[in-house]
Structure 1
Amino acid sequence: MPAQTGHQGMFPGGQAFLLCMLIWLCGSLAQAAEPVPPAAEGMSVAANDAEAAADGTDLPDPTPAATVALATIAPGEIYWERFGHNMLLVTPPGRETLSFNFGYFDFEQPGFIRRFILGRMLYQALAFAAEDDLAAYVSDDRGIVVQDLALTPRQADDLLRSLVDAVRPENRDYLYEYFRANCSTRVRDAIDSALGGGLRRQTSGRSRGFTYRMHAARLAKDDAWLALSIDLGLGPDTDRRLSLWEEMFIPGMLQRYLRDVVNSEGEPLVTNERVLHPGRGNAPAELPPDRRTSMAVTGLSVAVLLLWLSSRARARRGAARALEFTAFLLHLLFGVAGAVLLFLWLGTDHVAAHRNENLMLLNPLSLALAALWLLGPRATKSGNTLAWLVGLSAMCGLAVKVVPDTFIQQNLHWCLLFIPIHVSLLVAWRRSTVTR
């Protein structure tokens, strides 16, 4: 079978998430260009019987006495491992335990790079010998917790039948979306189906007030560049308050909320929870970081530098050149970032990146201003118009927050970073063109 590597949700590199965003997107594409070894998020099946199971050719006939458990894998160090992983472990009577894993993709699938960029990634549901599948996570020293599920014989039978059907070659591919259709949501949906919709009924009407953005930020917290890149690329769709049902796109949340779920007989669904492998023991943060102060200080510091350079540009040629280069570089970065955000919205199926209000802060028109600064600022009507349009666009990014029901994106921290810089760039442009 083709070489495969596993991958979990979101962001975060589908995925997951994410999947979307600027520096993170560029890094993801670099990874995609050079396939990761199969052990990255799972492993190739070594034993002949498990190899056949992965191909869907030697799966057991469903039986009503199968036992079912959920295995939850702790987050790892690599960016696509940040959100954790999970799988269903099913043991038919008299057979070895199989893992049903929805977190694999194939680098050799037709149009892989194009699908990745456009948000049309195909993931696969595969069956493995559980011992071999779990060994890969143990070798990476990632924690593994197993929860035994109290299903009736009929429910276990129905679940096994649906899983066997899901991993057949003609059914195994599914369209991946980092928040709503990932490895964890497929596992959640399979359990819910076995319970006759009981899991959804018990969790869809309750909320802790978390959002997709908050989960992405807290799980990527230890990697600042990854966290900022994902956050910058996420649009307002990710700022809606989630129900517990929706939060279970995170494997750790599915594990947590199953503890309070009851089965069809009113008994706890989880009968036993055990640590299969303790792993590193570094639990992810419970809350996302608050970056407003640090980003405001950074924005004001850059603004002060620009204003200082512009005040000295008339008297010192070195200051003028430093100002022109700094303004060129900033507008180039803003313009490229804005062009990427615009493409993610209008040219891809990355729904989480659509209607991104950061486009007001990162206007693609900045590319034209970058060219004008590179050539040397001149007091032209078109140049002045561009400078004012870009500056006012950034200010509108904050002003629209007075309409909270329409502009709901939680990007105040980005406003605090970019608006002082844009205001100082506008002032610097005016000073430079007047000077000349």
Structure 2
Amino acid sequence: MSLRVLALLVLLSIQNLFAQQLSPEASIRVLTIGPGYNLNDAFGHSAFHIQDHSQNIDMVFNYGVYDFDTPNFYTKFAQGKLHYLIGVNYFDDFMLMYKRQNRTVQSQELDLDTGQKQALFDYLLENYKPENRRYLYDFFYNNCATKIRDVLQTAVGEPIVFHEPEAFQPQTFRTLIQDNLKTNSWGSMGIDLALGSVIDQTATAEEHMFLPEYIHTFFSSATLGNSNKKLVKQDKTLYTKQAINSNKSSFFTSPIFVLGVIGLFIVIITYFDFIKGKRSRWLDFTISVLTGVIGLLLLLLWFATDHTATAQNYNLLWAFPLNIILGIQLLKKQPKPWVIKFLKFLFIMLALMAFHWSVGIQVFAPVLIPLLLALVIRYMYLVYYLKNEKL
């Protein structure tokens, strides 16, 4: 069956559900899907499962669906202005998809009364209407997981109290992200590069629920209102991820190896420059322009987008936008006198970066260390060389 035919059938089913009353036997569950193998699904997924056999209802509502028909999709994604959708699937199709992806699926049946179930069901149906189904996505505060928590709190009509689980240890947003990634991966490095110091603050207990695994954890201990009635009455695993021999990515394409080779290359060229008493202008131009361009992109992410997590990014201490101007000067045989002061300034900036890292103001990507050390060595040599050249 084609995807278009399946989507049409789901749409027709949804249209038939409007104004339909759930029976007393209906159940509502929260589904938590484990991490996948790609960066975009490395943090898991969450969904509502509405089941009522007497009404032939067995549907899954989930937030965080891409709308690739959005004009200027990638531009809006970069700007933090992209709207996501609420999606609906047949439960069997939903399960089949995640079984094929070999991702664990856990189910928590909610202990709601008939009125609360109906209210939540009506809310989801109303949310699925074309005029309502889009929402402005935010990775930390308005994603597939937080939507589950917020929609439930809005629809059930009584407060939900989330208790801290036993032995709960608050963590920073960055730690919560990186716990789901391999440190020596391009995805991990990209996140540490693009996101600023604002994510190095400790998340509150409720803020941990931007991750589906914490939706499952906090829902397990949550209570309804002042009754101390448990929110979840049954918790079970529908599918367990199978152990397979996955193809491990090659170390030789990993960031620590690539940046290590680049750093070693810079150090070797610097050594031969020192021995020969010369300066490889092409290397200085390349380093300065590349770090400057990276810095310019980080600056745009900070000030020219609606992303909240890209603010206060101190990666600018090593990737400084004005390095582009420095590169133009270093390409010349006789740079301007101010270049020496600028290079000393860059050295101080790298020292400030080390300070920020050591006191926890911002945690940087560890795989950058070989490159950063090479930059320190190169800047020191350039100051030495240009000073002696002036003598």
Contact 1:209–1:242, Cα closer than 8 Å, also in 2: yes
1:309 aligns with 272
The alpha-carbon distance between structure 1 residues 47 and 234, as it changes in their structure 2 partners (threshold 3 A), is: closer
The one of 366, 369, 378 aligned to 2:326: 369
The one of 354, 357, 366 aligned to 2:311: 354
Over aligned residues, Cα RMSD in angstroms? 3.2
Residue 128 of structure 1 and its aligned partner are, at CA, apart by 2.3
Paired residue secondary structure (1:187):
helix
2:241 and 2:357 mapped to 1: Cα distance?
43
1:95 and 1:222 mapped to 2: Cα distance?
46
1:44 and 1:143 mapped to 2: Cα distance?
27
1:63 aligns with 22
The one of 362, 367, 375 aligned to 1:409: 362
Contact 2:32–2:105, Cα closer than 8 Å, also in 1: yes
1:380 and 1:222 mapped to 2: Cα distance?
41
Query: Mapping of 1:101-250 within 5 angstroms?
Result: 101-196=62-157, 198-202=159-163, 208-221=169-182, 224-250=185-211
2:60 aligns with 99
Paired residue secondary structure (2:57):
coil
| TM-score, scaled to structure 2 | 0.83
Contact 2:192–2:365, Cα closer than 8 Å, also in 1: no
2:211 and 2:243 mapped to 1: Cα distance?
18
Residue 415 of structure 1 and its aligned partner are, at CA, apart by 8.4
Query: Mapping of 1:12-23 within 5 angstroms?
Result: none
1:429 to 2:382 alignment? yes
User: Which letter does structure 2 place at the counterpart of 1:361?
Assistant: W
User: Which letter does structure 2 place at the counterpart of 1:313?
Assistant: K
1:251 to 2:204 alignment? no
Residue 77 of structure 1 and its aligned partner are, at CA, apart by 1.1
2:344 aligns with 388
Residue 83 of structure 1 and its aligned partner are, at CA, apart by 0.8
1:124 and 1:176 mapped to 2: Cα distance?
9
2:50 and 2:365 mapped to 1: Cα distance?
46
2:356 and 2:186 mapped to 1: Cα distance?
27
1:401 and 1:140 mapped to 2: Cα distance?
37
Paired residue secondary structure (2:223):
coil
The size of the alignment, in residue pairs, is 371
The alpha-carbon distance between structure 1 residues 348 and 207, as it changes in their structure 2 partners (threshold 3 A), is: farther
| CA deviation string 1:342-398 (max 9, x = no partner) | 00011101110011111122111222223333x245252232233233332222333
2:355 and 2:197 mapped to 1: Cα distance?
16
| CA deviation string 1:221-265 (max 9, x = no partner) | 276111011011111221111122111111111112221122344
The alpha-carbon distance between structure 1 residues 156 and 313, as it changes in their structure 2 partners (threshold 3 A), is: farther
Paired residue secondary structure (1:46):
helix
The one of 271, 275, 281 aligned to 2:233: 271
Give ranges in structure 1 of 5+ residues lacking alignment.
1-38, 283-293
Contact 1:261–1:269, Cα closer than 8 Å, also in 2: yes
2:289 and 2:375 mapped to 1: Cα distance?
13
1:10 aligns with none
Residue 53 of structure 1 and its aligned partner are, at CA, apart by 4.2
The alpha-carbon distance between structure 1 residues 53 and 222, as it changes in their structure 2 partners (threshold 3 A), is: farther
The alpha-carbon distance between structure 1 residues 336 and 280, as it changes in their structure 2 partners (threshold 3 A), is: farther
Contact 1:334–1:362, Cα closer than 8 Å, also in 2: yes
Residue 152 of structure 1 and its aligned partner are, at CA, apart by 1.7
User: Which letter does structure 2 place at the counterpart of 1:371?
Assistant: I
1:140 and 1:401 mapped to 2: Cα distance?
37
Contact 1:345–1:356, Cα closer than 8 Å, also in 2: yes
Contact 2:223–2:230, Cα closer than 8 Å, also in 1: yes
Give ranges in structure 2 of 5+ residues lacking alignment.
245-255
| TM-score, scaled to structure 1 | 0.75
2:296 and 2:348 mapped to 1: Cα distance?
18
1:336 and 1:306 mapped to 2: Cα distance?
22
2:266 and 2:237 mapped to 1: Cα distance?
51
Contact 2:105–2:237, Cα closer than 8 Å, also in 1: yes
Paired residue secondary structure (1:276):
strand
1:75 and 1:354 mapped to 2: Cα distance?
27
User: Which letter does structure 2 place at the counterpart of 1:397?
Assistant: M
User: Which letter does structure 2 place at the counterpart of 1:61?
Assistant: Q
| CA deviation string 1:187-213 (max 9, x = no partner) | 111223345464355359x96221211
Paired residue secondary structure (2:229):
coil
Contact 1:366–1:390, Cα closer than 8 Å, also in 2: no
The one of 21, 43, 46 aligned to 2:6: 46
2:249 aligns with none
| CA deviation string 1:104-133 (max 9, x = no partner) | 121111232221121111000122222222
**Pair member with larger Rg:** 2
Paired residue secondary structure (1:97):
strand
The alpha-carbon distance between structure 1 residues 377 and 421, as it changes in their structure 2 partners (threshold 3 A), is: farther
1:237 and 1:229 mapped to 2: Cα distance?
16
